[in-house]
């Protein structure tokens, strides 16, 4: 394994905050079970804690430890077609498994399996999902190029994993908790409902 990946895994395991490339845009994250690190992400991004954070998982099996079982339609229409990839699914959460701060005290969470071999390996190795919000100050644009990231942001984290994002658009977010699914954000994946 390359030394940068090993370092990223070590920082994640030890409760640090990492900036990393994904298949969409650069992300900033930490383990989802470390409240102190999660609070730091809100502070670093200057983001209000009432805005929930998306999580990244390495497998459907991992997702199902943290979210209520996906219904058959979600698996057949969305997961089989778009995971791994640029689709974030808002679904019911197992409240006892995901910290209140991650989900902003809601009963849902946004979950995604990124199409990035290194990132999937990192998540697999640390054995818990990670926070996967965009690496930018709140309200500023996200970026798929490391050189475009704000230097002040880079200085606030414990490690920056070098690499290239495959895409340049953020993920599409779909809410499947309602009877009629709703697209919350149009991103890299186009879905006709």
Considering the domain boundaries, does residue 101 fall inside one?
yes
Q: Which pLDDT does position 26 carry in this prediction? A: 97
Q: Which pLDDT does position 180 carry in this prediction? A: 93
Q: Which pLDDT does position 193 carry in this prediction? A: 76
Considering the domain boundaries, does residue 192 fall inside one?
no
Q: Which pLDDT does position 192 carry in this prediction? A: 83
Specify the pTM. Answer: 0.96
Considering the domain boundaries, does residue 191 fall inside one?
no
Task: Supply angle C-alpha 104, 166, 85, rounded to 5.
Answer: 50
For residue 142, give the nearest of 154, 133, 131 by alpha carbon: 133
Give the pLDDT of the chain (193 residues) as one tens digit per residue: 799 999 999 999 999 999 999 999 999 999 999 999 999 999 999 999 998 999 999 999 999 999 999 999 999 999 999 999 999 999 999 999 999 999 999 999 999 999 999 999 999 999 999 999 999 999 999 999 999 999 999 999 999 999 999 988 999 999 999 999 999 999 999 998 7
Considering the domain boundaries, does residue 193 fall inside one?
no
Q: Which residues contact 15 (CB under 8 A, 6 or more apart)?
A: 30, 31, 34, 36, 37
CATH code of residue 58: 3.90.870.10
Q: Which pLDDT does position 94 carry in this prediction? A: 96
Considering the domain boundaries, does residue 190 fall inside one?
no
> Which domain covers residue 98, as residue numbers?
3-185
What's the number of domains the chain is made of? 1
């Amino acid at each position: 394994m390359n030394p940068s990946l090993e370092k990223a895994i070590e920082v994640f395991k030890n409760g640090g905050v990492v900036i990393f490339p994904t298949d969409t845009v650069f992300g900033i994250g930490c383990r989802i079970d470390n409240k102190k690190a999660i609070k730091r992400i809100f502070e670093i991004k200057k983001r209000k804690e009432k805005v929930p954070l998306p999580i990244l998982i390495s497998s459907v099996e991992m997702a199902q430890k943290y979210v209520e079982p996906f219904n058959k339609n979600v698996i057949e229409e969305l997961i089989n077609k778009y995971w791994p990839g640029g689709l974030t699914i808002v679904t019911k959460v197992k409240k006892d498994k995901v910290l209140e701060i991650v989900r902003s005290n809601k009963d849902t969470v946004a979950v995604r399996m990124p199409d990035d071999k290194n990132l999937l390996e990192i998540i697999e190795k640390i054995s818990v999902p990670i926070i996967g919000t965009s690496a930018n100050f709140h309200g500023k644009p996200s970026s798929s190029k490391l050189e475009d990231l704000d230097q002040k942001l880079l200085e606030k984290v414990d490690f920056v994993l070098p690499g290239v994002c495959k895409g340049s658009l953020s993920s599409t977010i779909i809410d499947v908790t309602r009877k009629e699914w709703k697209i919350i954000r149009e991103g890299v994946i186009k879905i006709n409902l």
